Amino acid sequence: MPDIRAELSENLDEAEWEWLIPHAQRDAVIVVSELVNLVDVGVAIASDKTSDVQVWIDEALITKPSNEQLGKWNTNPSQRFHTLIVQPYVLVQEK
């Protein structure tokens, strides 16, 4: 059985907003609060741990980008993010 945590940890990356725009346009970007570990969220999503994910959603620790965030990032396309792809989503944390 593959080690999902190790695999996702290896896939952590950085990206500029400009590179993430196509993912935002298909509604696949999920913003992860800096209060939560990006890999923990990725593991929970990849492992279908819906109860963990629901807690983070209820506490607004993982959200879809707000119109305000999108507007801010669109005016600064070089804004950088920590990123993690967990198909079909792209998890992002502002740097």
Tens-digit pLDDT profile for residues 67-91: 999 999 999 999 999 999 999 999 9
Let me know: does 23 contact 70? Beta carbons within 8 Å: no
pLDDT in tens, 3-56: 999 999 999 999 999 999 999 999 999 999 999 999 999 999 999 999 999 999
Helix (H) or strand (E) holding 44: helix 38-46
Q: How far apart are CA 85 and CA 42, in angstroms?
A: 8
Question: Residues 82, 12: contact at Cβ < 8 Å?
Answer: yes
CA dist 26 and 88 (Å) reads 10
Q: pTM of this prediction?
A: 0.93
Angle between helices 67-75 and 17-25 (to 10 degrees): 140
